[in-house]
Amino acid sequence: MGSYSDTAWGYDEESLGLDPETKLKFVPTDKELKLFKEEKTNLYKGTWMVCFIYGLSALALLSVVFFTDWGKTYIYEKFLPAVVTYVLGAILIILYLVFSIFALKPRKILSKLEPIPICPDYWKLEQVTPAEKKHIYKNIKEYNNINSTGCTAGTAGLSTNNSISYIINNDEATKITEDSQALEYKCKPDKFVFGEPNDILKMNNYLYKNSDKAESEFKYIKNNENNNEYLYKVGDNKDNTKYITYDGEVKPASDQLKKYAQIAGMYKNSWKEPDEANKNIAFNQGLYSNIDINSTGREWEKYPLICNQIYPGILDELEQDKGDKLKCELSKVCGISWSKLDCYEKNDEYKSLL
């Protein structure tokens, strides 16, 4: 508690952490300190009010017990356990409020509001779980390892350099961290509109059953760790770098879409296999939960792209021209209606009309 100022408006300076915007040590401004004092004053007032109410109720109980036979019979003798529970609960609440007063600290007033992502038509916005955030970030920064922390020295095929990003470049990786806005939300189809994942699977694959192209169909897999049901498409062609779009075209996948597919699926297209004593294991929150990558199949080499779960913040960070090109590419591969997007090529004739 050496950094704790011994005043009514004190706070532990060492617990302030980093400024979420500058990533440097957080030093409160005068405006933030004023807000902190207002919040602490309100907490003081609220605590005193709670103490006053509990004090009056305790005084009333004692008066009834000491000065009436009815109180002595019912409150002290018959309902003593309930009264003791009430008193102990009141004490715990007061202690919690007092602790909250001392734990309160200044908070950063962000200079800009983070926009809420807009999902595809009739999809729902959901918050990403802490476990998903953790594994998305670890998949970007580490080779997988049975110990999940990865990057152990002396293990064949594993890097000991945690500063390297293995799917995206380091500039992109600075924008996608466990606590960044890019990982706050994901979009999923509204079950009241599209039905369950199995219904979407049947509907989609019925449309493509006569195409004679297996890669145009959705595949299904369920993650038993988090009960997520994934519908996804895999790459076509010899090098697995092309997807068949919803209208049957075979389109080469952009590098950014292949990066996104690996980030969203929490896998790597290419794992370097370590020795037998320490095999690579897929992250258990992703598409290939806890699968040993030395197993047969190796479907992840085909860049599987999840189509019934989208991370709009990650797509925004991977967009190279700050437009909708990557989101349009994903929508076309997965057959998603997304009215917010501008997916029309602006040719010279169109530009002349502007």
* pLDDT value for 342: 84
Taking the C-alpha atoms of residue 268 and residue 24, their distance in angstroms, rounded to an integer, is 32
What are the residues facing 243 on neighbouring strands? 251
Q: Please tell me the least confidently modeled range out of 33-47, 286-300, 337-351.
A: 337-351
Q: Count of CB atoms within 10 A of residue 257's CB?
A: 22
Q: Which domain holds residue 39?
A: 13-103
Measure the CA angle with vertex 16, ends 15 and 21; round to 5°.
145
2 domain-assigned: no
333 domain-assigned: yes
* pLDDT value for 190: 92
Same domain for 236 and 308?
yes
For 97, the enclosing helix (H) or strand (E) is helix 80-103
Confirm if 131 and 353 have CB atoms less than 8 A apart: no
Taking the C-alpha atoms of residue 52 and residue 56, their distance in angstroms, rounded to an integer, is 6
* pLDDT value for 153: 31
Same domain for 182 and 81?
no
Q: What is the pLDDT of residues 218-265, one digit of tens each?
A: 889 998 888 899 999 888 766 677 887 766 778 788 999 999 999 999
Same domain for 201 and 349?
yes
Confirm if 36 and 16 have CB atoms less than 8 A apart: no
Same domain for 93 and 229?
no
End position of a domain, from candidates 103, 132, 165: 103
Of residues 237 and 316, more confidently modeled:
316
3-state SS, 295-325, equals CCCCHHHHCCEECCCECHHHHHHHCCCCCCH
109 domain-assigned: no
Confirm if 200 and 191 have CB atoms less than 8 A apart: no
Same domain for 71 and 212?
no
Is pTM beyond 0.75? Reply is: no
Q: What is the pLDDT of residues 187-216, one digit of tens each?
A: 999 998 888 998 888 887 777 665 556 667
Q: What is the pLDDT of residues 62-82, one digit of tens each?
A: 888 888 888 778 777 788 888
Average predicted confidence (pLDDT) for the chain: 79
The domain total for the chain is 2
